[in-house]
Structure 1
């Protein structure tokens, strides 16, 4: 019996050990995960930095590197040469953000199935079929032409790998343990993938599917009226009337054969509101100091770990502070002792779809320019954890990948956005050497250096704002813009006609730009880059006028400005849309006939200050009211079989103010003829009823900060690793553009002078470890609209009370 019990307990013990080290469904192997020495317990970190002075042996360096950490654990890297400064940047960034870098490159390249198995196969296929890896490969081929840039990227790669090779399994970031996989060596290609991921985020949407269906249903006159080629309320980035001091190249004319192709049943990735940004600079004549002040806050989908990594890089000829993309060398947004710069998205039309006519079911040839041209095939090998490798063949024409063939699309949300049998022409597939732009900007000393640097940046096109300590300010909507005829890409196109192809490129030196405008400021908020006198076509639609108009109106009257003046504008929550239409809306209601919640809501709206502050109930009511009003007005565009989009917001603004009898206000499903007044009343009643049903009687739950529910989610949506709900103001079309989980991903203000002083914050922390104090320690400051003063050191031995740690990296 004793022997039997001994054997039984041995078998049970071995079974338990085996069970604890097996991956069960979504859960990691519990034995490994709960191991107190190597599991998730090993990822807990103290707020204390440990020894204030320490050394570390790092193979691969050519000399000594000093890394100084301030009280936010932001690294200030001092090296003796380019190789070592970028090697150390890679090493230190990986130390804080390794899993984030790994996950984002796997997502971009279509390799998540290697980690999570079959559930990610269709996502991986989608990324491969969109040509993400293909585009990154084109970029790396271009980089190889420039030895100095290639050396920078390889040094950065080697630094990351030096850190990876120093790790033991117990040191892996916690997400590797939860998902039960290990980091692999970094490749230069991975950096290219991250930049292509930015293109997918900022230049990967389109409207031509919707527009083709609108044209087919309503005809050209109505389409042109509702969707004009240039907005009526625009205040462009380059001030109206700015002369163009160049002779344009030959501009393509609209081909006589042009006709749009309607596409049924396709719901596309529409260009999103909220994926925008703000930047501006005032000249010294508007500031209290007599020097320029520059501000930037790029709006992106927020995540933990934070999107950006804050740092300082110093080497001979280089001393720069700002934020980088984890996984890519150099500083993307920042300043040095001479200049500062910031970026916003241009939103030009750099993605088009072409209908392909294949010769037969073999699809080895397609019709183009009155002849059959050979297709080419790219085989994507998708490894699947726990399953067989999938070999997926993608057909390419000269225009790009045919993302999905007819009857090939899976039941997958992203795939539903793609028109079957269409080739994709996309700027992200073009060769480029974008990182060299930031390499040069980091070292820029003046306006001429700025102009030279940005010519290297191709995509996603950005509005580069600039200011210098010598009192220059400038802005340039910059990127590689295709040379197009007007409206090209507004609708789906016939891929067989050469005249529908991109016709070359707008010369970089002829991109819109302005230096030291008489008004004393430059700004951008994703609106039109230029007025209609600019000779080239960039797109027919940019972001709505709201933020740009508010920013420009505030800057125009600003005098003796300080950093606090600029910070207040970054946190501005005033709604230009409400200013434009709320008086019309309220005038259309009959308060004497209202009762209960509707009467109380009317009183709130009549006294509302048009601010989207967290405690404002009026903002909650107005937001839903406007959205409901738009949906009721444009009900003709709600067609399940032929998906369409609503006209631009400003078209409804003009109708409410100037066209109250517009037939678009009439509900064709009722015998009566509705005007704007009736639709306004109906939408108001619906709004108040909806809010009351959801939130109860008017009270604290109606406050905008509670209705909006802003938060910062974890990158992989792992429960408990995101932020708490934030009681904060702002909104998509407000200067402070914080919506639910999209908003200012980095707020920066640089006061130029002697010396330059920087201020900044992002929603997160430097560490990517949820067990670290420095994972989310800056969220409260950010949510409160405050900024941290940035510590811009001049030497590694400089003393400052904010310095908490120094590490000497050497290669013994």
Structure 2
């Protein structure tokens, strides 16, 4: 027995030693790719030395003599910190994810090949001016210099993920940066999804009033009546079913609820306590670890610029110089149209045009798939754009027999000069120069908010399609592609894009709200991203005569829900303070307790309070009850609460209270009945998941920011190292927006919000501040992987200074790039 015990001890000791050796080896291999920020590096293709000073938040200050050298330095810094992210972004744009990840990303690759954005990006490089081409070429050389260093010094393949996946990193090309901009345009656009949803809902709801209820227009002048989709295409089955929409984390195609959002507002000197202009900006995108944003400062020949970049793109997309600040918000400009193309019954390789049948443009494309045979895809294009598969956004459900769907989209330009506009903007010194510089911006369309030392302005930038006034669906529904008046007639002039310069009130801003009301075809959009946050923003802006940097920060971090304040009195009108006291531990008692809590609630979506969870669960359950019988399976597409719909129903606008009656049941249900039943549904769901003690609930437990690694986020054990989960305040309709997931077992997870926040004060520019939601590094062993995450969660910022000495004083390292001797 003693001998057995000794051998068991020895075996256990050996296992322990082996485990330590394995863990140590893995750590050593992974840590090899951690960059050394204190180093002199001799690099090829650089003409003059470049210094990269990293401040104590690991923000690189890139100092060089010429712009081309600075862009080289930015490429080197991006590749030091975000190489894996750049790899996956480029592979996504190229449609080459399956080479690394196998069949699980094949659908994404097929779609990307059909859009062909990489080939369009290669062609677009030739449309750029010499200065922009030099910037892209120099940036690519900087990325490649880091790749050379990784290979020559055996630096762990550049990122830990490179050991887990066989993903050789090809040299970076100038077109790669253009492709990533196009990729971001894809992520920010939702009109294709909106057209399909509207068509499917139109088929399910023959009553036009009910269609306006569930898909309401933003408040303002009404939209002219549209034809029913069934009138355009009578052969579409009324309740056609397709596979449910799914999306891989690396897919750029988002539902319209997650297609892009943002906040930006500015104050003129007359509305600023310090007498200088103010600007706040927080663009919203899907959360990832690391965030898509990377903070950087570039010392260009025209002066220093600092702000947010996207790894792979050599430009400050939201930031400031000494003279000009700029911020971006999604404009929701309608830059997509879906077309139904009729096939020639005698030759399915042809489609109908206004001039008769015409052959598709076709090209074979081979997709290499890991551990499987290659897949050959035939790409087809019509005059209106690429032909898409029926699975994309459930297009098959609205495509009649004998037809296919195609899409026209401004991002499909092969003369895309967006990159040139972004480079020129960094050199602008005034609002007028900034507006002029962005005239070449194509996609993604944005609202650009600008401030210089004296003026403020907002301009919609991006190409706007010119549509015929006789367009059958005004671009709101898929339309017959063979009818000439449905086709695009070119692009509208940049001067026709909405613009606001030096407003009399001294304040302007955008929360993706409807910003202009013009008749079709000069309408800009029928789909807008916000009808709620703007109400709170107006109140905060107008409640003060003058503003400060801190008041702008306070607005940026505001968590009061105008929606909750406006809907709860309507929904609970017949439930508040009514009825006798209910026996303890009964559903009625729990309902009364919930109503009592909500009655005293201010509408603040604070992570530590129970009321936001009760409210959000109630309104979500209410919408589900209202639409389930009318829409059937289609109701599953409406995962986000539409406040205007709830308001129309409970105010009985145009008979909208009809939604409250379950037409499949004999009794006639009232809206009060539905509100009561929905509250009981919500409280039951809450008690099952979080417990029945309502006072102990925390909104933050349900509303966790899910900044997950797009590839390793679901891998057991690893996910605890690579995912960044945090309890957060805010909600769908607060200025500090935290868009909820809307589906699955955790529908209130915060999955989409401000990955970057910046507030710029031109009375004292170096007192400006910014922050990102994770950290600068994409390496999960780096202390800079998540060091900004807690600051971001608490609503704190770091200095946004162009002071070189301040950056050096507390730097975490200085990298000197030295030209290789010729």
Q: What are the Cα deviations for residues 635-679 of structure 1, in whole angstroms up to 9, with x where unaligned?
A: 344233798759953132133235588222111122122222111
Aligned: 1:634 with 2:627: yes
Give the whole-Å Cα distance in 1 for the aligned partners of 2:93 and 2:215: 35
Counterpart in 1 of 2:736?
736
Query: What is the 5 A alignment of 1:351-500?
Result: 351-360=336-345, 363-404=348-389, 421-430=404-413, 431-469=415-453, 471-484=454-467, 485=469, 487-500=473-486
Query: What is the 5 A alignment of 1:483-562?
Result: 483-484=466-467, 485=469, 487-532=473-518, 536-562=522-548
**Stretches of structure 2 lacking an aligned partner (at least 5 in a row):** 1-17, 246-253, 583-587, 714-718, 740-749
Counterpart in 1 of 2:605?
612
Give the whole-Å Cα distance in 1 for the aligned partners of 2:21 and 2:649: 65
Give the whole-Å Cα distance in 2 for the aligned partners of 1:701 and 1:555: 34
| Per-residue deviation, 1:315 | 2.8
Give the whole-Å Cα distance in 2 for the aligned partners of 1:641 and 1:555: 40
Q: What are the Cα deviations for residues 290-338 of structure 1, in whole angstroms up to 9, with x where unaligned?
A: 1111000011111112211111111322310111110011211100010
Aligned: 1:750 with 2:760: yes
Counterpart in 2 of 1:7?
none
| Per-residue deviation, 1:591 | 4.9
Counterpart in 2 of 1:96?
81
Residues 308 and 326, structure 1, Cα contact 8 Å, conserved in 2? yes
| Per-residue deviation, 1:414 | 8.3
Q: After alignment, is 641-650 or 192-201 more displaced?
A: 641-650
Counterpart in 2 of 1:321?
306
TM-score, structure 1 as length reference? 0.86
Give the whole-Å Cα distance in 1 for the aligned partners of 2:432 and 2:138: 28
User: SS of 2:633's equivalent?
Assistant: coil
Query: What is the 5 A alignment of 1:13-412?
Result: 35=25, 39-43=29-33, 51=38, 54-143=39-128, 146-168=129-151, 169-172=154-157, 173-204=159-190, 205-219=192-206, 221-222=208-209, 225-226=212-213, 230-232=217-219, 259=232, 262=236, 264-266=240-242, 270-272=255-257, 275-360=260-345, 363-404=348-389
Give the whole-Å Cα distance in 1 for the aligned partners of 2:788 and 2:28: 29
User: SS of 1:356's equivalent?
Assistant: strand
Give the whole-Å Cα distance in 1 for the aligned partners of 2:331 and 2:712: 29
Give the whole-Å Cα distance in 1 for the aligned partners of 2:499 and 2:809: 42
Aligned: 1:598 with 2:591: yes
Give the whole-Å Cα distance in 1 for the aligned partners of 2:205 and 2:373: 49
Residues 279 and 294, structure 1, Cα contact 8 Å, conserved in 2? yes
Q: 1:73 to 1:560 in 2, by over 3 A?
A: same
Residues 287 and 293, structure 1, Cα contact 8 Å, conserved in 2? yes
Q: After alignment, is 594-603 or 645-654 more displaced?
A: 645-654
Counterpart in 1 of 2:779?
769
Q: After alignment, is 273-282 or 632-641 more displaced?
A: 632-641
Give the whole-Å Cα distance in 2 for the aligned partners of 1:90 and 1:42: 20
Residues 216 and 645, structure 2, Cα contact 8 Å, conserved in 1? no
Aligned: 1:651 with 2:648: no
User: SS of 2:150's equivalent?
Assistant: coil
Give the whole-Å Cα distance in 1 for the aligned partners of 2:649 and 2:589: 30
Two-structure CA RMSD over aligned residues (Å): 3.1
Give the whole-Å Cα distance in 2 for the aligned partners of 1:384 and 1:358: 31
Give the whole-Å Cα distance in 2 for the aligned partners of 1:417 and 1:568: 46
Aligned: 1:586 with 2:572: yes
| Per-residue deviation, 1:416 | 7.5
Residues 229 and 477, structure 2, Cα contact 8 Å, conserved in 1? no
Give the whole-Å Cα distance in 2 for the aligned partners of 1:402 and 1:481: 22
Give the whole-Å Cα distance in 2 for the aligned partners of 1:684 and 1:738: 23
User: SS of 2:622's equivalent?
Assistant: helix
Residues 712 and 722, structure 1, Cα contact 8 Å, conserved in 2? no
Specify which of 801, 815, 819 is matched with residue 807 of structure 1. Answer: 815
User: SS of 2:632's equivalent?
Assistant: coil
Q: What are the Cα deviations for residues 24-44 of structure 1, in whole angstroms up to 9, with x where unaligned?
A: xxxxxx999975697224346
Q: 1:553 to 1:84 in 2, by over 3 A?
A: same
Q: 1:363 to 1:192 in 2, by over 3 A?
A: farther
Q: 1:313 to 1:222 in 2, by over 3 A?
A: same
Give the whole-Å Cα distance in 2 for the aligned partners of 1:701 and 1:139: 57
Give the whole-Å Cα distance in 1 for the aligned partners of 2:633 and 2:211: 23
Residues 300 and 743, structure 1, Cα contact 8 Å, conserved in 2? yes
User: SS of 2:257's equivalent?
Assistant: coil
**Stretches of structure 1 lacking an aligned partner (at least 5 in a row):** 1-19, 21-29, 236-252
Residues 347 and 461, structure 1, Cα contact 8 Å, conserved in 2? yes
Q: 1:610 to 1:694 in 2, by over 3 A?
A: same
Residues 265 and 642, structure 1, Cα contact 8 Å, conserved in 2? no
Residues 89 and 159, structure 1, Cα contact 8 Å, conserved in 2? yes
User: SS of 2:809's equivalent?
Assistant: coil
Q: What are the Cα deviations for residues 379-411 of structure 1, in whole angstroms up to 9, with x where unaligned?
A: 212112233322211111111111227xxx6xx
Q: 1:130 to 1:544 in 2, by over 3 A?
A: same
Q: 1:352 to 1:755 in 2, by over 3 A?
A: closer
| Per-residue deviation, 1:497 | 1.1
Give the whole-Å Cα distance in 2 for the aligned partners of 1:372 and 1:220: 36
| Per-residue deviation, 1:617 | 0.8
User: SS of 2:477's equivalent?
Assistant: coil
